Structure 1
Amino acid sequence: MDLEKWQVKLKPGWDVNFKKFDKSTQEKIFKKLKQLEQPIQSIGLHSSKYQVEETGQYRIAFENNPKTRPREVHFIGNHKQYEKWYKEQ
């Protein structure tokens, strides 16, 4: 198994909901973003190009590119915000 670190990139607009969260929630999410640098098994949606990681009630939607190894974060928000964002994709 390949255990190389991944690079986490934040796509424009990723923080629309994030900047509204309180500081403790933001810190919790930043810890999860740091964990995304490690090899993980994330939830893949059947007809979606996005992977989803959960941290408490919050969702982080990102794309994996195994060849170049970035994880591109497209969305961070709570479950309700995630459902709205996903429907717009």
Structure 2
Amino acid sequence: MIYTLIFRENWDRYFSKMDRMTQERIWKKIMQLKNEGSYRGLRYGVNLCVVEVGQHRICFSVDEKQKTKKIYFIGDHKEYEKWYMSF
């Protein structure tokens, strides 16, 4: 199944500061999110999923009814920890 990707405002806060090669590697993984795949939940009670790309994390939500995935955050593991703790 093909999902539509939606990008939340400020999703690229950290992504835009990454070097070009890292951005390309992460963008390739983002495009793979259009298809079904395996990913883990952020934590119990929070409706977000996480995939890892090396030391970087992509956090997103999945809406099975509308077949969309909404990207909330992309950053390295330290930025991810700060973002994660805000929940």
Q: Counterparts of 1:1-89 in structure 2 under 5 Å?
A: 4-47=1-44, 48-89=46-87
* 2: CA distance, partners of 1:78 / 1:32: 14
Structure 1 residues 31 and 41, CA, compared in 2 at 3 Å: closer, same or farther? same
* 2: CA distance, partners of 1:45 / 1:73: 13
What fraction of aligned residue pairs are identical, expressed as a percent? 38
TM-score, normalised to structure 1's length? Answer: 0.92
**What SS is found at the alignment partner of 1:13?**
coil
* 2: CA distance, partners of 1:59 / 1:46: 14
1:1-43 alpha-carbon deviations (Å, 9 max, x no partner) = xxx1011111001000001100000000110000000101111
TM-score, normalised to structure 2's length? Answer: 0.94
Structure 2 unaligned runs (5+)? none
Structure 1 unaligned runs (5+)? none
Cα shift at 1:86: 1.0
Aligned AA (1:60):
I
**What SS is found at the alignment partner of 2:30?**
helix
* 2: CA distance, partners of 1:64 / 1:84: 22
1:25-72 alpha-carbon deviations (Å, 9 max, x no partner) = 000011000000010111113322110010111000000000001100
Aligned AA (1:61):
C
Alignment coverage as a number of residue pairs: 86
